[in-house]
Chain A
Amino acid sequence: MGTTNSTLSKIPNVEELMQETGFTPAHIVRLYDRFEALDKEKTGLLRPQDFGAINRLAMNPIGDRIIGAFFSPGQETVDFHSFVRILAHFRPADKKRPKDPSMPEPVNSRTSKLKFAFQLYDQDKDGKISRAELLQVLRSMLEMQVTEEQLESIADRTIQEADLDKDDAISFEEFRKSLEKVNIDHKMSIRFLR
């Protein structure tokens, strides 16, 4: 704690991080404080149980999936850099950025946000949302409130509408197409103060 500069100097490769994610120094400092607050045992890494301690998140029906999104497959910890990179998905898109095909896709573009949401559905990461995966999500969001038949009919109807190549699964392109008109930037963005 202290002035912004001294906290920033504690974080390695912070310039690179800011470039990649587009966060300002002030944002990074706040996120670092938050990271430290979550990291109760002061190991410098977060584990799934550290996220689990956030009550509002535990109350969220898809809380576990969101936590899962922070951890790469096989990894049990997440460091500050990865933490910030994932959160950067939720930065509002930069409207003025020119579309430069040679540059890598920025982390907060519409496509990246869609990919993040797609990941929440597609847990086995095979690039398609199968009927079973869709049912799982529905079950987490609705649990005891509807019958199994109702869940299945909802799943069927959704796949019917979105699945264009009739392979009984929703690929990323089909996902993107069905959400064409949704203002993803607005709904998957979080306004950072200052």
Chain B
Amino acid sequence: MGPFLDFNPFDNLLCILLGISFTVWFTLLLVFIIVPAIFGVSFGIRRLYMKTLLKIFEWATHRIERGAKDNNHLLYKHYSNAIIAKEPTSLEEEINEIRRRGSNRDLDSASAFEMSDIFYFCRRGVESIMDDEVTKRFSAEELESWNLLTRSNYNFQHISLRLTVLWGLGVVIRYGFLLPLRVTLAFTGVGLLVVLTSIIGFLPNGRMKNFLSEQVHLMCYRICVRALTAIITYHDSENKPKNGGICVANHTSPIDVIILASDGCYAMVGQIHGGLMGVIQKSMVKACPHIWFERSEVKDRHLVAKRLSDHVEDTTKLPILIFPEGTCINNTSVMMFKKGSFEIGSTVYPVAIKYDPRFGDAFWNSSQFGMVNYLLRMMSSWAIVCSVWYLPPMTREEGEDAVQFASRVKAAIARQGGLVDLLWDGGLKRGKVKDAFKEEQQKLYSKMLVGTQEDRSRS
């Protein structure tokens, strides 16, 4: 009987303690996170957190550089972006320059082809062997300072005890405190979304339903935003997409959707998935019309285009959110936009999303890790900091075809977000380059030669 008596008080105490901490925990959660999410206000806690973190990172990098100098290690500056300096001259400029310098005769009677023309192609070819723009775009952007995450640590080893302790502390905080908190929030957010939208689905169509569905969507997305500790700055909100338009944005990760949807209501477009995603999709569509396609329908471009244009013509329906790049890029550049969404002929509202990589890399390399792994990484980073710019609406002009319109929109997005505007097709990550590009080069070159010939035959 003795030992049992001893256990009881402790048992009670333990239960009481657990109970209290749970209640406190839950209350804090409710007050500081969920209630603000419902009303869309913010206490500013996250920004304070961000400032503190930045100071710590600066200190950490400083220590590492000092440590490296003390130990006489050559700090390999992995973060400068290139091996070689590429000169941004065009084919024409370069070849003309080579010829002008090397020609024995004066330019007018110069032969159309010169043996030295090959130098241009040769050099460009070797440059691309040494340093390739496209492949670089697909691996995570390298950082200039260490953000205490070993996953972005290419250069930093055990430099000092203090640093290692700090890093250890960081791990404990991130995995022991932040991660469970975030996972709880994520489940809450998603759960609420499914339940509430299903309930709203029972209401008759009308203004009340639309209003409620908007509020519910916004609230749940805001909870998800807090689940990722995403600190988002929205610029130019006066250009927010309106009904009957199409919103296009550059794509870095699946989180882009959450980021945009927490500030405005959109109709999503996508393929129906199985499992949890499928459940979410089905319940969302009960509350307001999203556009989900079956796997087989996705291949049929006409069907897709028709459904999109039908949706767009109905001005009571929300603006469509589309990511035309088709794949995730590592947020340093904007790749070629697929023209499908630009053929529909409605107003396009471009949006630029730029992530600040100092706090956590949001890039999803789908060939490297799967979705769950990715989400875990996201939730165990310090924070996701990003900026969203709403650009003024654009429409297709006279005589402009879909491809040109797409390029124009892409250039605007790249310029605003400070991203590099690349000609490359995002699908290159997985496939081979189209011969069309080779033909482009050949066309340019031949224009130089044959052009000259035509002039000569005329004179």
Listed in ascending order, the chain A residues whose CB lies under 8 Å from chain B are 1-5, 7, 25-27, 29-31, 34, 37, 51, 54-63, 66, 87, 90, 116-117, 120-121, 137-138, 141-146, 150, 154, 157-158, 161-162, 170, 175, 178-184, 187-194
Evaluate whether A34 and B130 lie within 8 angstroms (CB atoms) in the complex, with A1-B154, A58-B432 already known.
yes
Evaluate whether A58 and B438 lie within 8 angstroms (CB atoms) in the complex, with A1-B155, A87-B126 already known.
yes
In Å, the complex CA distance between A34 and B84 comes to: 12
Query: Could you say which residues of chain A place their CB within 8 Å of the CB of B115?
Result: 121, 158, 162, 170, 175, 178-179
Question: Which 9 pairs, one residue from A and one from B, show the smallest C-beta to C-beta distance?
Answer: A182-B102, A145-B446, A56-B128, A66-B125, A191-B85, A4-B74, A59-B437, A55-B433, A3-B73
A90 with B126: CB separation less than 8 A: yes
Smallest CB–CB gap between B127 and chain A, Å?
Answer: 6
Smallest CB–CB gap between B103 and chain A, Å?
Answer: 7
Task: Name the prevailing secondary structure of the B interface residues.
Answer: helix
Smallest CB–CB gap between B121 and chain A, Å?
Answer: 5
Residue of A nearest to B73 (CB): A3
In Å, the complex CA distance between A146 and B441 comes to: 14
Query: Could you say which residues of chain A place their CB within 8 Å of the CB of B52?
Result: none
In Å, the complex CA distance between A146 and B452 comes to: 13
Smallest CB–CB gap between A188 and chain B, Å?
Answer: 6
Q: Is B424 an interface residue, CB under 8 A from the partner? A: yes
Evaluate whether A60 and B121 lie within 8 angstroms (CB atoms) in the complex, with A2-B157, A146-B450, A179-B116 already known.
yes
In Å, the complex CA distance between A115 and B376 comes to: 55
In Å, the complex CA distance between A179 and B101 comes to: 10
A144 with B80: CB separation less than 8 A: no
A182 with B155: CB separation less than 8 A: no
Q: Is B92 an interface residue, CB under 8 A from the partner? A: no
Show 23 A/B contacts (Cβ-Cβ < 8 Å), sorted by A.
Answer: A1-B76, A1-B78, A1-B154, A2-B155, A2-B157, A3-B68, A25-B74, A55-B132, A56-B132, A56-B133, A59-B438, A61-B445, A62-B121, A62-B122, A62-B125, A66-B122, A142-B445, A154-B111, A187-B120, A188-B123, A190-B84, A192-B84, A193-B82
A157 with B433: CB separation less than 8 A: no
Evaluate whether A66 and B438 lie within 8 angstroms (CB atoms) in the complex, with A187-B116, A192-B83 already known.
no
Residue of B nearest to A29 (CB): B76
In Å, the complex CA distance between A192 and B85 comes to: 6
Q: Which residues of chain B from 208 to 237 have any CB-CB distance to chain A below 8 Å in the complex?
A: none
Q: Which residues of chain B from 98 to 120 have any CB-CB distance to chain A below 8 Å in the complex?
A: 98, 101-104, 111-120
In Å, the complex CA distance between A141 and B134 comes to: 23
B84 with A145: CB separation less than 8 A: no
Query: Could you say which residues of chain B place their CB within 8 Å of the CB of A180?
Result: 102, 104
Q: Is B135 an interface residue, CB under 8 A from the partner? A: yes
Which one of A1, A29, A56, A137 has the highest number of Cβ atoms from chain B below 10 Å of its Cβ? Answer: A56
Residue of A nearest to B82 (CB): A193
A141 with B123: CB separation less than 8 A: no
Q: Is B162 an interface residue, CB under 8 A from the partner? A: no
A193 with B446: CB separation less than 8 A: no
A182 with B101: CB separation less than 8 A: yes
B118 with A193: CB separation less than 8 A: no
Interface size class of B (residues with CB under 8 A): 35 or more
Smallest CB–CB gap between B77 and chain A, Å?
Answer: 8
Query: Could you say which residues of chain B place their CB within 8 Å of the CB of A66?
Result: 122, 125-126, 129
Q: Is B443 an interface residue, CB under 8 A from the partner? A: yes
Query: Could you say which residues of chain A place their CB within 8 Å of the CB of B432?
Result: 55, 58
A157 with B111: CB separation less than 8 A: yes
Q: Is B199 an interface residue, CB under 8 A from the partner? A: no
In Å, the complex CA distance between A161 and B131 comes to: 37
Which one of A60, A116, A183, A191 has the highest number of Cβ atoms from chain B below 10 Å of its Cβ? Answer: A60
Smallest CB–CB gap between B297 and chain A, Å?
Answer: 31
Evaluate whether A144 and B433 lie within 8 angstroms (CB atoms) in the complex, with A54-B129, A117-B118 already known.
no
In Å, the complex CA distance between A61 and B83 comes to: 24
In Å, the complex CA distance between A146 and B447 comes to: 9
Query: Could you say which residues of chain B place their CB within 8 Å of the CB of A189?
Result: 123
Smallest CB–CB gap between B366 and chain A, Å?
Answer: 17
A3 with B74: CB separation less than 8 A: yes
A59 with B73: CB separation less than 8 A: no
Query: Could you say which residues of chain A place their CB within 8 Å of the CB of B119?
Result: 117, 182, 184, 187-188
Q: Is B195 an interface residue, CB under 8 A from the partner? A: no
Smallest CB–CB gap between A30 and chain B, Å?
Answer: 5
Q: Which of B78, B154, B449 contacts A154 (CB 8 A)?
A: B449
Q: Which of B85, B102, B428, B453 contacts A179 (CB 8 A)?
A: B102
Q: Is B124 an interface residue, CB under 8 A from the partner? A: yes
B126 with A145: CB separation less than 8 A: no
Query: Could you say which residues of chain A place their CB within 8 Å of the CB of B111?
Result: 154, 157-158, 161
Query: Could you say which residues of chain A place their CB within 8 Å of the CB of B440?
Result: 59
B75 with A3: CB separation less than 8 A: yes
In Å, the complex CA distance between A62 and B442 comes to: 10
Evaluate whether A190 and B118 lie within 8 angstroms (CB atoms) in the complex, with A55-B424, A145-B446 already known.
no
In Å, the complex CA distance between A61 and B445 comes to: 10
Residues 423-443 of chain B, each 1 if its beta carbon lies under 8 Å from chain A, else 0: 010001000110001111111
